[in-house]
Structure 1
Amino acid sequence: MPRYCAASCCKNRGGQSARDQRKLSFYPFPLHDKERLEKWLRNMKRDAWTPSKHQLLCSDHFTPDSLDVRWGIRYLKQTAVPTIFSSPDDQGPRATSEQ
Structure 2
Amino acid sequence: MGNGVYYQKARVTLSIIQKCIPIALESMPEPTLPETKWQWLLLLIKRFAQSFRLMVGVQDYENYCLHMRSKHPDKVPMTEREFHRYCLEARYPSKGGKVGRCPC
Q: Which has the higher strand share?
A: 1
**TM-score (structure 2 length as normaliser):** 0.23
Higher gyration radius (CA): 2
Relative contact order, CA 8 A, sep 6+: which one is greater? 1
